């Protein structure tokens, strides 16, 4: 399932984005802060899957991000695995004050790759930077893992709003950038085919310099 244009307004797009990571790393509060500017200090663990839609403006276009908040508990993972399908973006979240949530990143990345039906723009998010005195995972460790897996990277705090909006926008902007590049290449291909007019097909191949820019950035 590719990002698609709204039938009424062709400039609108809907991107499905999933939040994944261990239980209690703050996924639901990241979404609450981003979508409604709210924070729930006593929020309960998500049961199954919930989602919210948030509208952003990227380069003058209206982008609708449909963000799915998935349960981190093991007993719900079989239920939620189907919801990876169709996702074009993902935030893989860990808690900087709980190293075990950081150690599980590889498992979540494998699950994302297994259940996704396309390449997914992914950002690694170290949440709860407000717990400075309880930090167990350094910023450098987060950056190193993100770089090793060609992911974007950011540290956030749903409590004080630090980098929350930036993390979601990083994913949405990169999805939009990739989509518009593909649309442009498709249009150029059609132009070349029309010029040839002899049934031959020309394939446009991206150079390495045109590949999606991946990497880590923007720690708090």
For residue 64, list its beta bridge partners.
Answer: 14, 55
Residue 147 maps to a domain: yes
> Which of the residue ranges 5-19, 79-93, 145-159, 173-187 would you say has the lowest mean pLDDT?
5-19
- Note the pLDDT of residue 11: 46
Per-residue model confidence as pLDDT tens digits over 139-181: 999 999 999 999 999 999 999 999 999 999 999 999 999 988 8
State mean pLDDT over 190-219: 51
Residue 42 maps to a domain: yes
Other Cβ atoms less than 10 A from the Cβ of 95: the count is 23
- Note the pLDDT of residue 95: 98
Domain CATH number, residue 51: 3.40.50.300
> Which of the residue ranges 4-8, 40-44, 82-86 would you say has the lowest mean pLDDT?
4-8
Strands 49-58 and 61-70, how do they pair? antiparallel
Q: How far is CA 158 from CA 1, 85, 95, 154, in A?
A: 30, 27, 11, 13
Mean pLDDT of the chain: 81
CB 48 within 8 A of CB 98: no
> Which of the residue ranges 113-117, 138-142, 216-220 would you say has the lowest mean pLDDT?
216-220
The angle, 0 to 180 degrees and rounded to 10, between the axes of the packed helices 164-196 and 27-36 is 80
Structural domains counted in the chain: 1
Residue 212 maps to a domain: no
Residue 183 maps to a domain: no
pLDDT bracket for residue 85 (50, 70, 90): confident
Residue 197 maps to a domain: no
State mean pLDDT over 58-87: 77
- Note the pLDDT of residue 220: 46
- Note the pLDDT of residue 105: 96
- Residue 70 backbone phi and psi in degrees, to 5: -100, 145
Structural domain including 125 reads: 4-176
Cα separation, 172 vs 14, whole angstroms: 10
Residue 205 maps to a domain: no
- Note the pLDDT of residue 214: 46
For residue 62, list its beta bridge partners.
Answer: 57
- Note the pLDDT of residue 16: 94
State mean pLDDT over 9-27: 84
Residue 188 maps to a domain: no
Residue 116 maps to a domain: yes
Q: What is the DSSP string of 148-197?
A: HTT-EEEE--TTT-TTHHHHHHHHHHHHHHHHHHHHHHHHHHHHHHHHH-
């Amino acid at each position: 399932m590719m990002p698609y244009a709204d039938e009424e307004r062709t400039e609108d797009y809907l991107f499905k984005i999933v939040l994944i990571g261990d239980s209690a790393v703050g996924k639901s509060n990241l979404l609450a802060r981003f979508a409604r500017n709210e924070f729930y200090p006593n929020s309960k663990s998500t049961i199954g899957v919930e989602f919210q839609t948030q509208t952003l403006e990227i380069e003058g276009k209206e982008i609708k991000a449909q963000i799915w908040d998935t349960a981190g508990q093991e007993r719900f993972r079989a239920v939620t695995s189907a919801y990876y399908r169709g996702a074009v973006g993902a935030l893989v979240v860990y808690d900087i004050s709980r190293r075990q949530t950081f150690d599980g990143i590889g498992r979540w990345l494998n699950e994302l790759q297994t259940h996704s039906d396309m390449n997914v723009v992914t950002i690694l998010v170290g949440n709860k930077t407000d717990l400075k005195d309880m930090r167990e995972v350094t910023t450098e460790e987060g950056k190193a893992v993100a770089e090793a897996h060609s992911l974007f990277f950011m540290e956030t705090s749903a409590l004080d709003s630090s980098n929350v909006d930036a993390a979601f926008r990083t994913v949405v902007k990169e999805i939009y950038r990739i989509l518009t590049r593909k649309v442009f290449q498709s249009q150029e291909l059609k132009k070349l085919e029309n010029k040839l007019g002899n049934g031959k097909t020309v394939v446009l191949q991206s150079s390495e310099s045109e590949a999606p820019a991946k990497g880590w950035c923007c720690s708090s």
